[in-house]
Amino acid sequence: MPTPLALFNPPPRLLMGPGPINADPRVLRAMSAPLLGQYDPAFRQLMRDTQELYRQVFETRNRATVLVDGTARAGIEAILVSLICPGDIVLVPVFGRFGNLLCEIAARCGADVRRVEATWGTVFSLETIDAALQKHRPRLLAMCQGDTSTTMCQPLEGLGELCRANGVISYVDATASIAGNPLPVDEWKLDAVSVGLQKCLGGPAGISPITLSDAVVERIEARKHLEAGLQAAGYQPGSGPRIASNYFDLAMIVGYWEHGLNHHTEATTMLYAAYECARILLEEGLAAAHARHRLHCQALQAGLVAMGLRLFGDRTHQMQNVTGIYVPNEVDGEAVRRTLLSDFGIEIGTSFGPLAGVIWRIGTMGYNAQRTAVLQTLACLAATLRIHGMNLPSDGVAEAIQVYP
């Protein structure tokens, strides 16, 4: 190896997979801002402003709207490890790979995990979830809103209310759906939600915005634990079992955000990114962003169908930002992806589990939920399929253009 290596110059890529996608250039520019100390008054103000922006993103008045330093999975684990006491029954309705992940993390937190399953490509009815709640009597229900592995979007209206009526805390992982699909947290009475930046929010992975209802905060505060050396800060311990993680201890993290409790050293640049992602989204407006995702997803799908490809899954419950398509029998799905990447610089997604090799997944999200990205993808996918020997009725471009107003 030459020492030291050259400056890293990434090759040009249009990232049309299920995430990460190309970050909005505004976000990348925002990340070049100089650092600040984390107790600088200007930085504390930035933190408060970022909280307020994410309250708007989540459509919530939850005071405890904060960010966890790590990828979306860090937000998930922070919520689960802070909420779950060993032995707690946790119900996870699983409709894809990321439901499995919730089970996995909850089990590691010591939960007694109860799964209900929906066939990949479908979602749950509220009745099914209600029946599972009655059967398992969990303390916590954890599920995804959008699961990119299947492209399905679980309807959540009524879920929070149902949980509250049963004394169950509801937690939703909305990483893949936020900003591309409606998620009015307060209206839907959800207790805890976590997301990431790398999908429809148009940023890089590395920080996870979360929001917690007052009831959740109360439960977590009961597990507050004094870290040696911080006792002078007037930090009163709770009576509940200590949270098994220090890094993901939301009692401390909320204390850090709200009262300046010393915990981690802030990932300042990621916070700059999160701030700018929210700003971009709120400038556009939530409803407009949802409509934009719907439009470009529809245009893409019109093009794919015109190309003769078959869409995957329950069409009435699809996410508005990622599309599954069956890999045609005539081609090797991975070989097509390789050609598309190496010859056209366009990345689309492969799949997991029962769908591995069966479907491709194409994202139209965040900065890439725009006309040029959709039409480039269609034209180049069609060209690639032709390279791989397929006869296509159309490259799908004209049909996609017809969808646009």
Residues 283-312 that bind a copy of itself (CB under 8 A): 283
Both tokens of 324, joined, read 């599954």
Please count the helices (runs of H) and the strands (runs of E) in the chain: 13, 13
Which residues 218-237 are close enough to bind a copy of itself by CB under 8 A?
A: 227-229, 232
Tell me the C-alpha distance between 183 and 119, whole Å: 24
Using the rule CB under 8 A, is 385 a contact of a copy of itself?
no
Cβ atoms within 10 Å, residue 158 = 13
Residue 239 CB, nearest distance to a copy of itself (Å)?
A: 17
Nearer to a copy of itself, 247 or 326 (CB): 247
Using the rule CB under 8 A, is 372 a contact of a copy of itself?
no
- Residue holding tokens 């939850």? 62
Instruction: List, in sequence order, every residue forming a beta bridge with 115; answer none if it has no partner.
Output: 92
Backbone angles phi, psi at 328, to 5 degrees: -60, 145
Using the rule CB under 8 A, is 251 a contact of a copy of itself?
no
Residue 152 CB, nearest distance to a copy of itself (Å)?
A: 15
Cβ atoms within 10 Å, residue 383 = 16
Residue 150 CB, nearest distance to a copy of itself (Å)?
A: 12
Binding mask 172-201 toward a copy of itself (x if CB under 8 A, else -) reads: ------------------------x-x---
Using the rule CB under 8 A, is 124 a contact of a copy of itself?
no
Which residues 84-123 are close enough to bind a copy of itself by CB under 8 A?
A: 97, 100-101, 103-105, 108-110
Nearer to a copy of itself, 205 or 385 (CB): 205
Using the rule CB under 8 A, is 144 a contact of a copy of itself?
no
Nearer to a copy of itself, 83 or 306 (CB): 83
- Residue holding tokens 């169908």? 305
Nearer to a copy of itself, 4 or 393 (CB): 4
Binding mask 47-86 toward a copy of itself (x if CB under 8 A, else -) reads: --x--xx--x------------xxxxxx--x---x-----
Nearer to a copy of itself, 31 or 179 (CB): 31
Tell me the C-alpha distance between 30 and 41, whole Å: 19
CB 144 within 8 A of CB 172: yes
DSSP 347-389: E-B---GGGTTTEEEEE--GGG-SHHHHHHHHHHHHHHHHHTT
Both tokens of 214, joined, read 């007052």
CB 251 within 8 A of CB 243: yes
Residues in CB range of 386: below 8 A, 6 or more apart: 392
Binding range to a copy of itself, per CB under 8 A, among 294-302, 324-332, 347-355, 371-379: 347-355
Nearer to a copy of itself, 106 or 153 (CB): 106
Count of residues that interact with a copy of itself, criterion CB under 8 A: 93
